[in-house]
Amino acid sequence: MQSLSHDDLGITRCGSLDLRWGERTYIMGVVNVAPDSFSGDGLSDREAAVAQGHRLAEEGADIIDVGGESTRPEFTPVTADEEIRRVVPVVERLADELTVPVSIDTYKAAVAREAVAAGARMINDVWGLKRDPDLASVAAESSAALVITQNQRGARFDEFLTELIADLNRSVETALRAGVDWRNIIVDPGVGFGKSVQQNLEIVRRLWAVRCLGRPVLLGTSRKSFIGFVLGLPVEQRLEGTSATVALGIANGADVVRVHDVRHMVRVVRMADAVVRGWQSADE
């Protein structure tokens, strides 16, 4: 494992939460307001989605990520209007009722703009500003934190990790040109987005390499298909596999983990942080 330094990453302000990189790993809990979610936890009922957000916050999530369109392979796209109808009332309720910040999982500027107006303090773009570059302007104007994900769908990399990092860097430069504060940018290598099983495993194994971009790293492996392929298990039985990737990801430089099973992952993260970042007992 490489030496990991957080000294020059700055502090990212996300609503009431100061993300102080290096002190601990932050947990992003997932609320899917999309009935066709790959993870099997998609919700179409607004009250159920709000209740799930409350539960994840109570279980220890630092950020609640609300999405209204599935990201699974061969997903059915929804219009911006439909996505707004799904997510904005949920974002508004959660932003008003929770003390932890709310993130909007979207690649559409129109959706991000409405969600930020409703109280979202982070934008999580799974297309890395490539589908709708105007989303960067929304992040800049609102001072929202911005997660930039590398999405390999429709592309083929010969030198995988080198080209992945270069692609992420181009997206970071797009954000900076639009006026996004560098301290507000978080990068995600995009496990599962057009990658093979071997490539996803390589991301977790060599996550430290992504740190060359000089920004904190988010890792999203929760329940994903590469875990299912390795273990031969359906989505509802991937808890242990997710736990392994989260712990190894933290050891290799993850600053944020995006997960569905927050209660379990809080324990995994706490133990991994104790090993990687150090630990003191309450009596010391």
Catalytic annotation, pick one of 215, 258, 267, 270: 258
d(CA 222, CA 260): 6
Element containing residue 147 per DSSP (H, E): strand 145-149
Residue 118 CA to residue 274 CA, distance in Å, equals: 36
Using the CB atoms, write b or e for 240-274: b if 16+ within 10 Å.
ebbbbbbbbbbbbbbbbbbbbbbebbbebbeebbe
Q: Is the dihedral of CA 157, 159, 164, 167 positive or negative?
A: negative
- Residue 51 corresponds to which tokens in the numbers above? 């209740």
**Residue 130 annotated in active site:** no
Task: Identify the helix (H) or strand (E) that includes residue 200.
Answer: helix 197-205
Joined together, the tokens standing for residue 163 give 């080209």
258 assigned to active site: yes
CB half-sphere exposure, 117, CA atoms < 13 A: 10
Catalytic residue among 93, 113, 224, 238: 224
Residue 133's contacts (CB-CB under 8 Å, 6 or more residues apart) are 174, 178
CA 24 to mean position of chain CA atoms:
16
- The number of beta carbons lying within 10 Å of the beta carbon of residue 79 is 12
List Cα–Cα distances, 180 to 10, 127, 174, 207, 250, in angstroms: 14, 17, 9, 24, 26
Known catalytic residues? 224, 258
